[in-house]
Amino acid sequence: MGDNRGMQKVLDDQQLGAAIELAREAAVIEAEAAYVGEHLEMAMEDERLATHLFTCLHPGYLGWRWAVTVARAPEQDEITVCDVVLLPGPDALVAPPWVPWSERVQPGDLGVGDVLVTPTDDLRLIAGLTGEDDLETASSASPLNGFWELGLGRVRVLSVVGRDEAAERWFEGDMGPSAAMAKSATNNCSTCGFLLPIGGPLGQMFGVCANLIAPADGHVVAMNYGCGGHSEVTLEVGAPLAENATDELGWDHLDLTEPDLDDAEQLPEDLIVAGISDATLLAASTVLEVEDATDPADETGEGDANPPTLDAELSVEERQDDTDN
């Protein structure tokens, strides 16, 4: 639908407004009857020129409308169909507005083998000095003093605009003071021994990190950025650990008596849980008692059935002494 002529209001045409069925038939011919829905509205485009809108029922065009434009000649009642098109409605899913490629390219889009053309009027660049003749010209032109940079073979060098944009981008980026890493650090890069200073006007705000284990290694960092890999972070030496000490005065009471287990005594819960039966435990205890009561010498037959006691040995020695006297 086009715009109405200026601010002049176009009066509704009753004959065009009544041509709903004619417009529907035209939409059905263009699409199919299953895809043409109810009539939504009619809008006057111009004098004796109107557009009827119908709902589009196609599943791939939800929210779109069939627009059928009808017209009639002056002082004529016959109505003709001018055009049938499919137009997006207010809730239709449409493609985003077209953006030139130079504006679509974002940081990180440049890959291996890609070539990005730099405009000749890029504000981030200015002409550099490329020869000795240019040096003499620049030194004689006082307004250029302090604003020109030796190109050293470069046709263009970074301008003040490009420098300020880079400084702002670095300062607000992941290596700036607002980063989560910097907020959690106790020391900043300005006092770190791993900071490599850079020259030029940016040297007062930025440097290059040279700490292998730091997340910013090899990156430009702000002076007030920081991380846990600061060169002055050292281990605090606390009090020396005490040597092992032996208590030679205290004592612990140990009960070495063996308890007499009765056959009817209830077993501990931990043994019951382990799945050992009462009969097995009693049999094992009986075997252990028998082994403890057996003399190893008796098993080999080398032991004496009635070994002499200490009192008997003393009495024999006393009688021998009396005989000698």
CA distance 190 to 186: 12
Supply the mean pLDDT for the chain: 78
Q: Tell me the C-alpha to C-alpha distance, in Å, between residue 275 and each of 54, 270, 281, 285.
A: 81, 9, 11, 17
CA distance 273 to 47: 99
The answer to whether 226 and 185 have CB atoms below 8 angstroms apart is yes
Q: Please, which pLDDT band fits residue 264 given cuts at 50, 70 and 90?
A: very low
Q: What is the mean pLDDT of residues 251-266?
A: 68
Per-residue model confidence (pLDDT) at position 123: 92
Tell me: pLDDT of 267 over 80: no
pTM: 0.46
Backbone angles phi, psi at 273, to 5 degrees: -65, -35
Q: Tell me the C-alpha to C-alpha distance, in Å, between residue 87 and each of 1, 44, 57, 93, 97.
A: 9, 16, 13, 11, 16
Instruction: State what percent of residues in the chain have pLDDT above 70.
Output: 68
Per-residue model confidence (pLDDT) at position 177: 95
CA distance 18 to 79: 10
The closest alpha carbon to 56, from 37, 31, 83, belongs to 37
How many other CB atoms are found less than 10 A from the CB of residue 66?
28
pLDDT tens digits, one per residue of 102-136? 788 888 888 899 888 888 889 999 887 655 555 55
Tell me: pLDDT of 1 over 80: no
Tell me: pLDDT of 147 over 50: no
Highest mean pLDDT among 102-106, 154-158, 206-210, 234-238: 206-210
Domain ranges across the chain: 14-88, 121-158, 161-222
CA distance 183 to 309: 87
Instruction: Name the DSSP class of 129.
Output: B
Per-residue model confidence (pLDDT) at position 283: 58
* Amino acid at the residue 137: T
Q: Of 39-48, 162-171, 234-243, 314-323, which gets the smallest average pLDDT?
A: 314-323
b/e code 254-277 from CB counts within 10 Å (16+ = b):
eeeeeeeeeeeeeeeeeeeeeeee
- In which element (H, E) is residue 39 found? strand 36-46
Per-residue model confidence (pLDDT) at position 174: 94
Q: Please, which pLDDT band fits residue 195 given cuts at 50, 70 and 90?
A: very high
Q: Please, which pLDDT band fits residue 52 given cuts at 50, 70 and 90?
A: very high
CA distance 52 to 323: 153
